[in-house]
Amino acid sequence: MNTTVAAAGRQPVMADVAKLAGVSHQTVSRVLNDSPHVKEQTRDRVLAAIRELDYRPNSAARALVTRRSKTLGVVSFDTTLYGPASMLYGIEQAARSAGYFVSIASIRSLEGRSMQEALDRLLDQAVEGVLVIAPQTSSVGALARVRSSVPVVAVGSGAQARMPGAAVDNEAGARAATRYLLDLGHRTVHHIAGPANWLDARARETGWREVLAGAGAEAPPPFGGDWSARAGYEAGLRLQADPRVTAVFCANDHMALGLLRALNESGRGIPRDISVIGFDDIPESSYFTPPLTTVRQDFGELGRRGLELLVSQVEAGDRPSGRSLVATELVVRGSTAAVR
């Protein structure tokens, strides 16, 4: 930091940058706002002064002048699940690349009152738009009832939700997984489903059913799970006892992990006796025993798509209707094989 400013015992202000660079206060402001009406040599001099002083623009003061906070709100819920946590990271990275700050309101429940209270907290911080991570049926209903003076976009709320937003094409991913198992010669595919109040779980079950129906294959009753490895393990204890079971599609990788353990403990070989497919492609899935065949979804792209929709509304006033669907990819590893 410049010794004069440091000796004064205060943080540098814009006037200090202007004085060191030998320019006006207005020129420094133009450089900070990336105005094209600044000579390159002058811009370099101002940027050098900013670095020397370690100057940080006062975002509150800038908001008063420009009437722009350059801040977006994100409503998330209290969870450590891989999908929502990865969505939040993808949103934050995309916002930073677009030149926005992110303010997060985390709530325990995605019900109507909690959703409105979270939105009100963000509006009190002068956010210009709000992204809501809304993977449950209750969150979609709550979003339909919220009152907001700024644009609101949903992320991860399923392809059928009636609001602008971005979602993974879960049905297509489930269809690809089920079709792959049938193509390997399995007569049918069992399913360990996610919670019934999750839109992703419903879509994956729908895709599974569609492919079985199209192939004329029986659709065994699915096992209800809660995304946990424990749920997959408990379903596996029942599946391993049925010699007719040769293929299982799990609605996420953590339940697939529990299933693999139950099958291994029972002596059912994977994929010799039973083929297993998961969904998500969490970082650990390639290190399961055996490495897990799974459906990959790009949470970074999901965050970027949602952010782009929101920024287009904030900056251009666009009001997209429809949804942006992020494609999935089937990743084949060692947990699947042709039926014996």
Residue 85: the pLDDT is 80
64 pLDDT more than 50: no
Which class for 104: exposed (0-12), middle (13-18), buried (19 or more C-beta within 10 A)?
middle
Contacts 24+ apart (CB under 8 A), 141-146: 141/112, 142/110, 142/111, 142/112, 142/114, 142/115, 142/116, 143/115, 145/112, 145/116, 146/112, 146/115, 146/116, 146/119
What is the side-by-side order of every strand in the sheet holding 165-168?
101-107, 71-77, 130-133, 152-155, 165-168, 323-326
Band of the pLDDT at 217, cuts 50, 70, 90?
Answer: very high
Token pair for 216: 């004329």
Residue type, 214: G
Please tell me the pTM assigned to this model: 0.78
The DSSP call for residue 287 is G
**More confident: 249 or 308:** 249
Q: For 218-234, write each residue's pLDDT tens digit.
A: 999 999 999 999 999 99
User: Which residue is it, tokens 């999750």?
Assistant: 198
**Which amino acid is present at 31?**
V
Query: In the prediction, which pLDDT does 165 show?
Result: 84
For residue 304, the model assigns a pLDDT of 85
Collapse the DSSP code of 334 into the 3-class scheme (helix H, G, I; strand E, B; otherwise coil) and give the result: coil
- Average pLDDT over the chain reads 86
Domains for the chain: give ranges and CATH numbers.
Answer: 3-57 (1.10.260.40), 69-168+299-326 (3.40.50.2300), 170-297 (3.40.50.2300)
Q: What single-letter amino acid sits at 282?
A: I
- The encoded tokens of residue 157 equal 């709320």
Residue 251 clears pLDDT 50, i.e. is over it: yes
Mind listing the pLDDT tens digit for each residue in 117-139?
Answer: 888 888 888 888 888 887 777 77
Mean pLDDT of 286-314: 90
pLDDT at position 5: 59
When mean pLDDT is compared over 37-41, 89-93, 290-294, the highest value belongs to 290-294
Instruction: Give the mean pLDDT of 57-61.
Output: 55
Identify the pLDDT of residue 98: 82
- Asked, as a colleague might, if the bond just before 243 is cis with ω within 30 of 0, I would say no
> Cα separation of 308 and 314, whole Å?
10
Q: How confident is the model at residue 161 (pLDDT cuts 50, 70, 90)?
A: low
